[in-house]
Structure 1
């Protein structure tokens, strides 16, 4: 990415004297000469206070900004501009200091926060004439930390159609500070095809169907084994929910997809037993207040059922690791057709963790022995559905707009520009029974009603399920966190069963034992900075959000210095591995390891919700599946090769 240096000269119109020496003369700007081109009104993945703004010069000459202002109508921020913008160039303003953007040098530092609910910004020249205006946040994504970017810099003014949510990954989020905007939802790189491909789908007993929401390279398919890719995962989930006849057990880290909520409500109204476990989340977290409010509004819709009334037969029982208090904002409630006041729920003052909170409790949570509640600090990170005690639907996909579409606009238009994900669905009553045991442990009972005193989440759970089943001749292992040491089983698998290769795509990886086992396979040594290449094949792609974190396994494998670190970490691989930062439009959200693919040495794939970290293994509620099968593993290779090629890797 281009580095931008501060231009001290204030040049609007350059006139040459008879001696041929350029002199400078300011001239009035016209509307659209300079535009507000991109805004990170939500901050970055590092800090929500790390906001930045980008201007763009639409003219054919350098423009002086001396005496110009960029001001919010409410008075904050109010920025006196200085310097100048060369023709067809960008001017980046960073809030507070120049540490906001690690890959771009600020043209100017400013103070004053942008409101996440929107601002009216006016760009005025030295004479006070209005040059550009932004009247609302028409785009941008607080969850993904994706900036609001103009589709074309020439489109000045306030039209909502001029803006879109950024999709290009930079070090601190999604956006293009100091460079041309990237907002297209189309796929680039190794895959240009955005058509949905459903090639391997079966409803037969023992069927295992794998779905990828991004593209795959089916030239790497074994005969007749082309993967399912560019798949609308919401449609696949709705297909299972709508076919339910008796029961649905639904565990969701987060949910804001209206069609899924409506489908669950409709099934409960038909008499299907619907139980939902949802992660409570910290409702006061300043990073995610709006996002978590939205989830609670959808959850309340489920709790009230189709008739909107509390305590009737069509209500869905929702339970959580920590209680949920109803959103009381009347405007937001009206948007979800909820009563103006949630006073048909009990108003209570309760202890949640170390905090006393008062509100209308509409979802109960696991209680401590003294009757108080655990805090929502740990995560119920599962995302699975059990349908009629036979279908298991699970994977890395959160049931959210961001997780699949990327934005509400994309959802409306059917554009799959969300995070990269996978889903596995299995038709097996035996596997479903194992998942139901896990669900009931968190639920606290085997009935429709949860037991707040018997329920166990996080480290309070025990290892109480079988870990291996045979499904259609395929060996499938299943592990839950905490308690089952799922990541420990991964390390053991690499150590004892990986013979030829290991490929992976991972959101977050910090587990040292797993890194060590892969290092030994790669270079025959567990010792730091020692080893000789063994011929074992390692390839991998990391989500860019964590690529440079000091704890990331990527630092060890590549010998880089982590962001913010002055010293190299103690542990290094002696031979740099061919692993890369992803080039996805949003997050690389899968947690997938592929062992000995396309060989006769027990091809195996590891998938699920579990990140390879202490939190993923010992703190959060997670599930992980290990599938020993040649064809399923080959389907994951097809998708892996697309991610790896786009990231800069070479596939033989």
Structure 2
């Protein structure tokens, strides 16, 4: 009934009601800069589009200039402040009347921060699938902890922490030291998990969410500063098991706009912007509102951000998966969300390369068997410690598409969608997608069990190289020699960097020679096939 009240009011009390009732489409943000952005929307009737906006829900800054008479509108707001959150309400001028939408959108400008995004993995990566760059930390839990303590020690004014659980005394000591030197430290933990290290805390902390989980793992540093503002997030809990044993990823972002968005979420759970926790105003789980921006331009990269359970996070993840034009890879602690299962199966059935790893295949409602039956190349993790990740990689090897990484604290479950406090980033960037692919290839190949396994989505098969399969000279200047360990019959294909077959044939015997004279300079992949198995090697054509 609540959603009908504004409409009934318009129809009943507006003098233009019978002729002027307008349905507004969703307001979409684009062209984000540090001084403005554009807003697009549709209306069921034609008129002049106009935006009412402000820094508060009262829209105190008034109206933008009006656009042309149309039913599809795109209006630019300019002259705005950098790193600010704005409330924007689409409206329509028709027959002299201004008709407002019933919904106000929340959008933000870009910041003047550096926009650097650092990626950390606490376990090994597969450098063989690198495009030439690598994550900032890999295979070193100690280095990740040192980076976190360095960031705490560097904080100037404020640190807000929302962490599911903690047993690391050194992190609490660093936070105590920050509090002692005048930094405002506030800490939110989950109600019901062990937070043993907080027994020595000198800063205020509270436990929230009695009906679900406060499952975040984020820290916000100096949100009021252009260059000192950071957000630390990802899948890693602040416990010894999660840091040193289980497989996790961390994202560290230097961006003031993102830090301000995370601060809105923290303050909502804290119940105030002060150092004092307000138990009456505090909101957690389904009590919260969808009250933060979702699109950011960070260092030239489009980044989406969603807080659960209010922001329709599953829909955002589903849209990312369905956007795949080449490949989808995922590494997840649990996979029980049927909506996301159907999105993954859709990509599999559309011919995309889909592969994954799931830790807890025995969870109630697990989608592991359905994915397997649908042809998805998915492993039940067989390693001693947990795959605690919650990431998906979209089009890592399809750069002309829209390479993306989905990561954060949000498990692919209904509990995460409906009950838990979670946060999710969707980063649109080919380089970062490749960094996650390096991690994924290492995890998949460990489960596969071959020391020479490597994943190349462009080839669309998991490659296990024959140690006795020789390919020379490589790089090549026009001719390559293939030498096998024994005489046999094999089919071969030569693939370009997009995974397209450009040369094929059959090898009979122990040696064969291929001419590449007709091919341009570049990187190629030779794949040999026999009885359902495939072996591959990258080769370089020099001219």
TM range (shorter): 0.5 to 0.7
Deviation at 1:301, TM superposition (A): 1.4
Q: Aligned ranges for residues 38-77 of structure 1 at < 5 Å?
A: none
d(CA) in 2 for partners of 1:588 and 1:243? 31
Q: Which stretches in structure 1 are left out of the alignment for 5+ residues?
A: 1-203, 283-291, 306-315, 323-375, 406-417, 524-533, 560-572
Match of 1:321 among 201, 208, 211: 208
**Following TM superposition, by how much is the alpha carbon of 1:628 offset from its aligned partner in structure 2, in angstroms?**
0.1
- The superposition leaves residues 162-187 of structure 1 with CA deviations (integer Å, 9 ceiling, x where unpaired) of xxxxxxxxxxxxxxxxxxxxxxxxxx
Cα 1:260–1:454 change in 2 (3 A) is: same
Report 1:214-363 matches (<5 A).
214-225=123-134, 228-232=137-141, 233-281=144-192, 292=194, 295-296=195-196, 298-302=197-201, 305=202, 316-321=203-208
Structure 1 contact 221–227 (Cα < 8 Å) conserved:
no
Partner of 1:508, secondary structure, is: coil
Matched residue count: 332
Structure 1 equivalent of residue 119 of structure 2: 210
Q: 1:266 to 1:387 in 2, by over 3 A?
A: same
Equivalent in 330, 339, 344 of residue 513 of structure 1:
339
1:547 paired to 2:361: yes
- Deviation (angstroms), 1:439: 0.3
Partners of 1:391 and 1:425 within 8 A in 2:
yes
1:556 has 2:370 as partner: yes
**What is the distance in 2 between the residues matched to 1:424 and 1:616?**
20
Give the Cα separation in 2 of the matches to 1:514 and 1:636: 20
CA distance in 2, matches of 1:393, 1:226: 15
Give yes or no for contact 1:227–1:635 (8 Å, CA) kept in 2. Answer: no
Q: Is this contact kept in 2: 1:477–1:626, CA < 8 A?
A: yes
Query: What does 1:131-530 align with in structure 2 at a 5 Å threshold?
Result: 205-225=114-134, 228-232=137-141, 233-281=144-192, 292=194, 295-296=195-196, 298-302=197-201, 305=202, 316-321=203-208, 376-389=210-223, 390-405=229-244, 418-495=245-322, 497-523=323-349
CA distance in 2 between partners of 1:632 and 1:475 (Å): 12
TM-score by length of 2: 0.60
User: How far apart in 2 are the matches of 1:211 and 1:584?
Assistant: 21
CA distance 1:452–1:477, shift in 2 (3 Å): same
What residue number does 2:67 align with? none
SS at match of 2:150: helix
1:366 aligns with none
- Would you say the 8 A contact 1:397–1:421 is kept in 2? yes
Q: Following TM superposition, by how much is the alpha carbon of 1:226 offset from its aligned partner in structure 2, in angstroms? A: 5.4
Question: For the structure 1 residues 444 and 577, does the alpha-carbon distance in structure 2 shift closer, same or farther, using more than 3 Å as the test?
Answer: same
Contact 2:212-2:285 within 8 A present in 1 as well = yes
Given the alignment of the two structures, is residue 644 of structure 1 paired with residue 543 of structure 2, yes or no? no
Distance change >3 Å, CA 255–CA 541, structure 1 → 2: same
Root-mean-square deviation (Å): 1.5
Superposition deviation, residue 648 in structure 1: 1.3
Task: Measure, in 2, the Cα distance between the counterparts of 1:226 and 1:301.
Answer: 34
CA deviations over 1:179-232 (Å, ceiling 9, x no partner)? xxxxxxxxxxxxxxxxxxxxxxxxx82110000000001121112345631132
Q: In 1, distance between residues paired with 2:363 and 2:248?
A: 22
Measure, in 2, the Cα distance between the counterparts of 1:257 and 1:550: 31
Question: Cα distance, 1:550 vs. partner?
Answer: 4.8
**Quick one: distance in 1 between partners of 2:447 and 2:177?**
42
Q: Deviation string for 1:454-479 (max 9, x for gaps)?
A: 10000000100000100011000000
Could you give the per-residue CA deviations for residues 536-594 of structure 1, whole angstroms, max 9, x where no partner exists?
Answer: 10010111xx22345112110113xxxxxxxxxxxxx2xx2211012333110000000
Counterpart CA distance in 1 for 2:135 and 2:147 is: 18
Structure-2 change in CA distance of 1:535 and 1:227 (3 Å)? farther
Indicate yes or no: 2:407 matched with 1:607.
yes
| Cα drift, residue 519 of structure 1 | 1.1
Deviations 1:597-618 (A, max 9, x none): 0222111000000001111111
SS in structure 2 of the partner of residue 538 of structure 1: strand
Cα distance in 2, alignment partners of residues 584 and 238 from structure 1 = 29
Q: Look up the match of 1:634.
A: 434
Q: CA deviation at 1:274?
A: 0.3
> TM-score, normalised on structure 1?
0.50
Q: CA separation in 2, counterparts of 1:235 and 1:377?
A: 34
* Structure 2 match to 1:175: none
Do 1:420 and 1:584's aligned partners in 2 also have CA atoms closer than 8 Å? no
Deviations 1:16-41 (A, max 9, x none): xxxxxxxxxxxxxxxxxxxxxxxxxx
1: distance between equivalents of 2:149 and 2:286? Answer: 32
Partner Cα separation in structure 2 for residue 510 and residue 613 of structure 1: 5
Contact 2:118–2:136 under 8 Å retained in 1: no
1:193 corresponds to which residue?
none
